[in-house]
Structure 1
Amino acid sequence: MREKKDIRVLSLERLKEVFAEMDEPAYRAVQVYEWLWKKPVFTFEAMSNLPKSLRQRLEESYAIRAVKINTSQKSTDGTVKSSFRLHDGNLIEGVLIPAEERMTACVSSQVGCSLTCKFCATGYMERKRNLDAAEIYDQVVLIDRQARETYGLPLSNIVYMGMGEPLLNYKNVMASVDRLTSPDGLGLSYKRITVSTAGIAKMIRRLGDDGAKFNLALSLHAANDRKRNEIMPINEQNSLEALRDALKYYFAATRNPVTYEYIVFNNFNDELADAKELAFFCKHIPCKVNIIEYNPIEFADFKNTGEDKLDAFAAYLRKQGVNVNIRRSRGKDIDAACGQLAVKEK
């Protein structure tokens, strides 16, 4: 028995051609496309304005490889972590982060990760494959439903900060952003979407060439090559100098400021000398810094810095004119906080 084609890889133009070959009018293709990306639904049977005979024909030839919620956990702070099962049986994780002023979905871009960052649970997993655009999109749809059902509010923000390195799945990440922001998709604002990278210099330049409109965040965590090499091996091929030049290129092309994410590890990158290096790195382009608490994982023995050192670190940056936010962890009790996502079940 031949495998059914994934209908969501087809563009609207190609879908119209397919329907013409089926002797169906072009407007039927538009209806199906809306059901796939704007409504959206995960079965042909749910496409209620199509004749039943057409739904059956589509079912015979095509598949909607929908992502499904496998398990969900709710934190004491209201954060909801879900594992999602993909059509091939693989599992990924995503998080709903509620706040008074926003509802944020944290989504994954890969099954596992290849970057081996020492402080991140996903980095200790094998990278099995990239997610396709529809699998990223489905996470947003499902988390949006959770937000509406749990809190009576729709999603307001999307962050690509889950499992995997988004810029090593460039094509599918960009396609998913297109579906999320397009008028014939979910119609979300680019300014409500943030893509986070560990720092792939050539791909940051490509974002500039492609005129990326979403927000870019760089997981920096050290403004010193020796220290960054130690915790983020990707820095060995993407040094701070290479990242600096790529970010300057990106900003010149897009005029979009960048966010630097900086986890403060006790007695590693939390001294005033480290803050001085970070402040210098911040002078290259308009930016802000999110200082993030370290969230423990079973594979590493890092510790979060003390409150006094954290406050002194942030105060120094502010004196240097750096825009600083201190981000408190959410969902730590269910391993849903930054750096803690790792599928443990089979």
Structure 2
Amino acid sequence: MNEAVVKRDIRNISSADLKVFLTQAGEPAFRAKQISDWLWVKSARNFDEMSNLSKSLREKLKEKFAINVASIHQSQFSSDRTIKNTFKLFDENIIEGVLIPTSDRMTACVSSQVGCSLTCKFCATGYMDRKRNLDAGEIYDQVVLIDKQARENYNIPLSNIVYMGMGEPLLNYANVLKSIDRLTSEDGLNMAAKRITVSTAGIAKMIKKLGDDQVKFNLALSLHAANDKKRNEIMPINEQNSLKALAEALKYYFLKTKNPVTYEYIIFNDFNDSIEDAMELAKFCKHLPCKVNIIEYNPISFASFLNAEEDKTEAFANYLKKQGITTNIRRSRGKDIDAACGQLAVKEQ
């Protein structure tokens, strides 16, 4: 077995436990802050990089701990400049993350789980098994590596992060929030929380927990249908998290955070693209301040859905705008390399 699997990842231990280890090793407790800075501010990938620690302390750390970093395994470059990465984890599992460059931003789309347990019918990841949750450090690594990629390829740093890759973030709640804390805190990468969006398929009790925790980042709900019958058909999670339950949770979340919500709406041909569907969506939007992103569908081999026709998409968006709802039509990026929304699925290596 790989040694790194046996040793505990130092990024997963508390500051208090690290101080105990240092004291027992005859080291001053302030070294814990230096180690934390190396891990979360300077993004050190091994103990030898920690140059202000003595060689003997670095050896003690190596004996006791590992830094289970994610590494880029493969990168694919799209004709629209999108870059899709497969990341190899310490245990040989593979996840995917994407760099999405546009005229006004550089966005990292990161994964939160290896696979997914939600089985949404239109999403390639939903046809994979969920193997495990990602640690906060593994999520953090994706951001660091994609930021490096943005600087090297486009000479521009990351501006935004979206938790819209593989997995359901709210089913890995603690690690997702810890990763965001490391990305946004002064003891981490010091990014603005408002530049981060977490997307959920809709787990009512966890949306309420986001409210209780008064999070500062943005929340997006993958809605895709505003009546229960259609949503049940494409998103089995809706059977336990009905639109009524979600509306109540979102109202609670808004009451606690004052953050508006984004509804993501993939528009499928002859399924959810009619004006009647738009009317149902507009009604759902009345619950709290929100905006709607209409997303063109990217066909996958597992499913028979097709993207809605252009005129229907425009009519749908115009109806919502006339109801006073901020609405954007999002064009897909990275389709030619299976990097677009709903296409992330690790192919057998």
Which interval holds the TM-score relative to the shorter structure? over 0.9
Once the two structures are TM-superposed, the CA of residue 125 in structure 1 deviates from its matched residue by 0.2
Once the two structures are TM-superposed, the CA of residue 13 in structure 1 deviates from its matched residue by 2.9
| Match for residue 124 of structure 2 among 114, 121, 134 | 121
Alignment of 1:296-307 (within 5 A): 296-307=299-310
* SS of residue in 1 equivalent to 2:170: helix
Residue 344 in structure 1 maps to residue 343 in structure 2:
no
Alignment of 1:64-213 (within 5 A): 64-213=67-216
Residue 52 in structure 1 maps to residue 43 in structure 2:
no
| Match for residue 263 of structure 1 among 266, 270, 274 | 266
Aligned identity (percent) is 71
**How far apart are the structure 1 equivalents of 2:201 and 2:264?**
10
Once the two structures are TM-superposed, the CA of residue 27 in structure 1 deviates from its matched residue by 2.4
Checking the alignment, whether the CA contact within 8 Å between 1:260 and 1:288 is kept in structure 2 is yes
**How far apart are the structure 1 equivalents of 2:43 and 2:117?**
32
Alignment of 1:21-32 (within 5 A): 21-32=24-35
* SS of residue in 2 equivalent to 1:174: helix
Cα deviation code 1:179-211 (max 9, x no counterpart): 111100111111000000000001001111111
Amino acid across the alignment from 2:55: K
Q: How many residues are matched?
A: 346
Once the two structures are TM-superposed, the CA of residue 16 in structure 1 deviates from its matched residue by 2.0
**How far apart are the structure 2 equivalents of 1:120 and 1:234?**
13
**How far apart are the structure 1 equivalents of 2:252 and 2:117?**
26
Once the two structures are TM-superposed, the CA of residue 11 in structure 1 deviates from its matched residue by 2.4
Checking the alignment, whether the CA contact within 8 Å between 1:16 and 1:30 is kept in structure 2 is no
| Match for residue 284 of structure 1 among 267, 284, 287 | 287
**How far apart are the structure 2 equivalents of 1:27 and 1:252?**
40
Alignment of 1:299-318 (within 5 A): 299-318=302-321
Once the two structures are TM-superposed, the CA of residue 154 in structure 1 deviates from its matched residue by 1.0
Once the two structures are TM-superposed, the CA of residue 301 in structure 1 deviates from its matched residue by 1.0
Cα deviation code 1:270-296 (max 9, x no counterpart): 000000000000000000000000001
In the superposition, the TM-score normalised over structure 2's length comes to 0.98
In the superposition, the TM-score normalised over structure 1's length comes to 0.98
Once the two structures are TM-superposed, the CA of residue 90 in structure 1 deviates from its matched residue by 0.5
Q: Following superposition, which runs of at least 4 residues in structure 1 exceed 3 angstroms of deviation?
A: none
For the aligned residue pairs, the C-alpha RMSD in angstroms reads 1.0
